[in-house]
Amino acid sequence: MGKKIKVFAPATVANVACGFDVLGFAVDSPGDELIVEMTDRPGIQIVEITGDEGKLPRTAEANTAGVAIQQLITQVAYTGGVKISLHKKMPMGSGLGSSAASAAAGAFAMNELLGRPFDTEDLVPFAMEGERLACGTAHADNVAPALMGGFVLIRSYDPLDIIPIDTPKELIATVIYPQIEVATKDARQILQKKVPLTDAITQWGNVAGLVTGLLKSDYALIGRSLQDVIIEPVRSLLIPGFQEVKMAAMEAGALGCAISGSGPSLFSLSQDKATAQKVAEAQQAAFLKLGIESNTYVSPVNQNGPVVIG
């Protein structure tokens, strides 16, 4: 057959403070690159993985990109084969949706090669199965923005109902990744199963406030809604220096700062790029005081999702 495509899928920020498993947005970088080729030989072969330092499995059924592709080709009864080359351009266990980027890239690439039998939103369930493999839960707050771009709300999982949310063009995200690792499965296991009603009410109000603030370009409302009273108090204990780094972001002018996904990365939102850059520098300095190296990424909300790059 010989049909081949190379795609890029972006990193994502999930939860967005108050929106555990229901809010997420995409950023411009980092991300994953995936080369997918259709072959005559049945089956999915992972022929190359770079950038993973030997951490990712080479068998398709144990790899998020492979699982997403398998789910898709099963639906269309494709009987040929697939070769995959995965180039990890982002850290794993970072809270930036590494597994989701690979799954999204796989589903998107295969859909393109097959002539787009599915709309982009319809690819989300395929990529969610990759997430189920990675962390035990088929959540969509990473894969949905990774595939669809932009800021999304997962209103319901049964049935799946994904709502794109408009965001102010001036809104800039700062993401800082301290070079430590927090496993998503571990970060989910420590969460409490029940929460006090008063905390739930506070959280619901913040979710509603954040969505309203985004739609109205009300930066003050966005800022005061970026509060998490349920997940952050627990997960922040896994991140050395969390409070100091969060405070550094706020003092540098961020609207708000919280854990990205399951951590250890943190994200901040700012009203302009200059402030977002100051936030990045202040947070990096705060981590350095603790002897922790970090990488920073500054970008607007990525509206594109995956793109063909070759």
Pairing of strands 172-178, 266-270: antiparallel
Calpha distance 20→42 (Å, rounded):
39
Rounded to 5 degrees, what are φ and ψ at 106? -65, -50
What 3-state DSSP class applies to 83? Answer: strand
Q: Which residues contact 298 (CB under 8 A, 6 or more apart)?
A: 172, 173, 174, 175, 273, 276, 277, 280
Calpha distance 260→251 (Å, rounded):
19
Calpha distance 138→197 (Å, rounded):
26
User: Is-contact 231 252, C-beta < 8 A?
Assistant: no
Number of other residues whose CB lies within 10 A of the CB of residue 55: 11
Indicate if the alpha-carbon torsion angle 100, 103, 109, 110 is positive or negative: negative
User: Is-contact 96 12, C-beta < 8 A?
Assistant: yes
Calpha distance 111→204 (Å, rounded):
36
Calpha distance 88→3 (Å, rounded):
22
Burial of residue 154, with CB atoms counted within 10 A of its CB: 0-12 exposed, 13-18 middle, 19 or more buried:
buried
- Residues annotated as part of the active site: 131, 184
Pairing of strands 81-89, 160-165: unpaired
